[in-house]
A and B are shown apart, each in its own frame.
Chain A
Amino acid sequence: MQFDKTAIIISQRRLTDLIDLSLIVLRSYFGAIVLCSLIGIAPFAILNFWLTFPLWDYEGLAMRSADFADPIVFRIRFYIIQMVLVFLQMPLALSGLTYFIGQAVFVEQQSLKQVFKSCLQRWLQLALVLGLFRFALLGYVQLFYMFNNPELNVGWEMGICLLLVCGAIFITRAARPFATEILVLERTNLLKKTSSSLSPSYSQRNKWLHSMQFSDNFGSHFLLSLIAAWGVACLCISIVLLAGVISKNWDWSPWVDLIGLPLACWIIAVWMTIVRFLLYMNTRIQTEGWEVELKFKAEGERLAEAVAS
């Protein structure tokens, strides 16, 4: 690996430049990004579709409900659930994509098999940190419950699940956004193998990487959330317009709810994963002088060879 030969120029950039750069990365590795994303997203998207299907029957739910007679309430609930699911699951579902981009930076040739093999080697860490602590998998408990009892319980769903749990996850991810990168790219273990081990544990590394950038990370995450929301809205409207032009049917047809909205959410999730990776690089440059480290590693190897010869 040539540390100073990178596919993306390693330098400190402002947030707007990073978002712009993510568009170039998206264009440059479009095929690979689509493949990695599809494989990662597919199981989650299929499961989400199956489990949320009963919630899509807005009229039926409104008729059975004692509190809400208007189907629009159930429609909004369905949209919120779809977006929350993608929000919770994207770090885990797109961990393969994160690994791929991380390797692509160093111009490392990776096959799909290698990408997912590397991620599967980290399944326990990913499942524990992203799946359980960050609710990517734990969220399915609530979804299974709603699958069997699709009636709306406003207090529980909006109060506990949305505001309390999702709010806590949002704040956690805003404060410490690079959990996937630490686990997948840095291959940090959850616990130190021995107390004298030099390599830090996940929690140590997580704390160290994020502690000096708390306000920057929080601000960036908040701004990116707004951009993501705008992106989902833009894509949904564009999908409806495109479908209208092609089919001459301008109704907000069922496939927009069941396919269009999740599709738009996942497309934006892929984009945000790339932005997050670039932010991770920027954070490492700011806090650890990463660009210096890469240059020094490369120069150090050359010097060592020269000294040895």
Chain B
Amino acid sequence: MPRETNRTPIDLIARIQTPENIEFQYRLAGPFRRFPAFVLDVVVRTLIIAAIWFLFYFMGALLFGRSGFGTSMDVIIFLLVVFQFFLQWFYGAFFEAYWNGQTPGKWLCGLRVISVDGRPINISQAIVRNLLRSADLFPTGIVGLVSMTVTQRFQRLGDLAAGTMVVVNQVSWVPPNVKFEDPRVSSLAEHIPADFRLSATLAKAIALYVERRARIPIGRRAELASYIAMPLFRKFGFREDTSSDLLLCSIYYREFIAREAFSSEATTTKSPKPLAQSPLAYSPLGVLSNSATAPHSEQIAAPPVLIATQPSQPSA
């Protein structure tokens, strides 16, 4: 049984380091993320072929009457079959080469083919990876699936031959809109000792909590927040029946929303800014508009006025 301790955490991320020592990260698309794009491309190809066949028959009927194309029918069918052949084999290559690594299916699914060194693919790469698609689909797609499972970057045979990989298009991150309407949040924030500094990891953890808390049930919030809040109550000298959730919201408010108000020059509390720039590199898929309302009163054991000891005010 392998005993793994120091390996890189498992994730769908490919890291590419440039010669200048700059690291890029790409989110890899595995076989099941790619499958809908593949189906969409099959549908698009089939529709194009059906439309062209229909068009020729329709035009033939219009131009030559019910007898169709007559003697030129064979030539037309031959041309259509040739067109169909090229469409089947070079549809993917054409789009990927001239549309920055995307086919219509990949575009709709937010995927892109790039070289393993992070550069856009060229025509020869696009042709090679698409010509080998049939090998990957043999006999029921198992060859491609096994190939993608055993390779680091989910590469099927076509990708291995062409030196390419499929990645998910990066979506720009929108900072979540966190607002606190409960006045006790800012009030409690004033009682947090001015010399209290958050570590980077703790700041990220609290930011993650505040941005996720709108989706977390109320009872669970108190349970989660207590892991951090209990040691902080002791550190700050607060009563332990103070709401844990409220304390974390106050720390978030102090650190990310009203930072200037608590800076060393500030003497009075300024009005909070509506939007905070969180340090959290939150997943684009998980962005939520967390318009957090008042921390629920039933969870708040004691309002900030019941704080036992009066901590120092923000330093002047």
Q: Are the C-beta atoms of A7 and B10 separated by less than 8 Å?
A: yes
Choose one: A110, A241, A292, A304; the contact of B1 (CB below 8 Å): A110
Choose one: A237, A238, A300; the contact of B230 (CB below 8 Å): A300
Q: Counting CB contacts under 8 A, is B150 at the interface?
A: yes
Q: Are the C-beta atoms of A109 and B3 separated by less than 8 Å?
A: yes
Q: Are the C-beta atoms of A296 and B209 separated by less than 8 Å?
A: yes
**Mask of B126-164 contacts with A, CB within 8 angstroms, 1/0:** 000000000000011110010011100010000000000
Q: Counting CB contacts under 8 A, is A307 at the interface?
A: yes
Q: Are the C-beta atoms of B227 and A300 separated by less than 8 Å?
A: yes
Q: Which single residue of chain B is at the shortest CB-CB distance from A31? A: B2
**Number of A-B pairs, beta carbon distance below 8 Å:** 143
Q: Are the C-beta atoms of B30 and A17 separated by less than 8 Å?
A: yes
**Mask of A263-290 contacts with B, CB within 8 angstroms, 1/0:** 0000000000000000000000011110
Given contacts A107-B4, A237-B140, A300-B231, contact A292 B224 (CB under 8 A): yes
Contacts of A235 in B (CB 8 A): 142
Q: Which single residue of chain B is at the shortest CB-CB distance from A18? A: B32
How far, in whole Å, are A293 and B13 apart by their CA atoms in the complex? 23
**Mask of B1-41 contacts with A, CB within 8 angstroms, 1/0:** 11111010111110000000000000011111101100000
Choose one: B1, B5, B32, B148; the contact of A16 (CB below 8 Å): B32
How far, in whole Å, are A226 and B31 apart by their CA atoms in the complex? 15
Chain B interface residues (CB < 8 Å from chain A): 1-5, 7, 9-13, 28-33, 35-36, 139-142, 145, 148-150, 154, 199, 201-202, 204-205, 208-209, 212-213, 215-217, 220, 224-225, 227-228, 230-232, 234-235, 283, 285-286
Minimal beta-carbon separation of B248 from chain A (angstroms): 9
Q: Are the C-beta atoms of B228 and A26 separated by less than 8 Å?
A: no
In this complex, how many residues of chain A approach chain B with their Cβ under 8 Å: the count is 56
Q: Which single residue of chain A is at the shortest CB-CB distance from B203? A: A299
Q: Counting CB contacts under 8 A, is A25 at the interface?
A: yes
Choose one: A9, A14, A110, A303; the contact of B228 (CB below 8 Å): A303
Q: Which single residue of chain A is at the shortest CB-CB distance from B234? A: A307
Q: Are the C-beta atoms of A300 and B228 separated by less than 8 Å?
A: yes
Chain A interface residues (CB < 8 Å from chain B): 4, 6-9, 11-14, 16-17, 19-21, 23-29, 31-32, 35, 104, 107, 109-112, 227, 230, 233-235, 237-238, 241, 286-289, 291-293, 295-300, 302-304, 306-307
Contacts of B10 in A (CB 8 A): 7-9, 21, 24-25, 28
How far, in whole Å, are A110 and B4 apart by their CA atoms in the complex? 10
Q: Are the C-beta atoms of A16 and B35 separated by less than 8 Å?
A: yes
How far, in whole Å, are A235 and B143 apart by their CA atoms in the complex? 11
Q: Which single residue of chain B is at the shortest CB-CB distance from A25? A: B10
Chain A CB count within 10 A is highest, among B202, B227, B228, for B227
Sample (24) of A-B pairs whose CB atoms are under 8 Å apart: A9-B11, A12-B283, A13-B12, A20-B28, A20-B31, A21-B11, A29-B4, A104-B4, A107-B4, A109-B3, A109-B5, A227-B32, A237-B139, A288-B216, A288-B220, A289-B209, A293-B227, A296-B205, A299-B201, A299-B227, A302-B199, A303-B232, A303-B235, A306-B231
Q: Are the C-beta atoms of A7 and B32 separated by less than 8 Å?
A: no
Minimal beta-carbon separation of B48 from chain A (angstroms): 26
How far, in whole Å, are A297 and B224 apart by their CA atoms in the complex? 9
Choose one: A6, A28, A293; the contact of B224 (CB below 8 Å): A293
Choose one: A7, A238, A304; the contact of B7 (CB below 8 Å): A7
Choose one: B11, B142, B224; the contact of A234 (CB below 8 Å): B142
Q: Which single residue of chain B is at the shortest CB-CB distance from A240? A: B139
Choose one: B149, B154, B228; the contact of A296 (CB below 8 Å): B228
Classify the interface of chain B: helix, strand, loop or mixed: helix
Contacts of B199 in A (CB 8 A): 302
Minimal beta-carbon separation of B61 from chain A (angstroms): 41
Q: Are the C-beta atoms of B286 and A12 separated by less than 8 Å?
A: yes
Contacts of B32 in A (CB 8 A): 16-17, 19-20, 227
How far, in whole Å, are A233 and B72 apart by their CA atoms in the complex? 45
Minimal beta-carbon separation of A235 from chain B (angstroms): 7
How far, in whole Å, are A23 and B150 apart by their CA atoms in the complex? 8
7 tightest A-B CB contacts, nearest first: A20-B30, A300-B227, A303-B231, A296-B227, A295-B205, A9-B11, A234-B140
Q: Which single residue of chain A is at the shortest CB-CB distance from B198? A: A299
Given contacts A9-B10, A14-B285, A237-B139, contact A31 B231 (CB under 8 A): no
Choose one: A11, A107, A292, A296; the contact of B5 (CB below 8 Å): A107
Contacts of B209 in A (CB 8 A): 289, 292, 296
Q: Which single residue of chain A is at the shortest CB-CB distance from B9? A: A9
Minimal beta-carbon separation of B180 from chain A (angstroms): 18
How far, in whole Å, are A35 and B2 apart by their CA atoms in the complex? 11
How far, in whole Å, are A235 and B146 apart by their CA atoms in the complex? 11
How far, in whole Å, are A11 and B286 apart by their CA atoms in the complex? 9
Given contacts A24-B12, A289-B209, A300-B227, contact A29 B2 (CB under 8 A): yes
Minimal beta-carbon separation of A60 from chain B (angstroms): 32
Q: Are the C-beta atoms of B139 and A27 separated by less than 8 Å?
A: no
Minimal beta-carbon separation of A220 from chain B (angstroms): 12
Contacts of A13 in B (CB 8 A): 12
Q: Are the C-beta atoms of B285 and A12 separated by less than 8 Å?
A: yes
How far, in whole Å, are A14 and B142 apart by their CA atoms in the complex? 23
Q: Which single residue of chain A is at the shortest CB-CB distance from B146? A: A238
Contacts of A295 in B (CB 8 A): 201, 204-205, 208
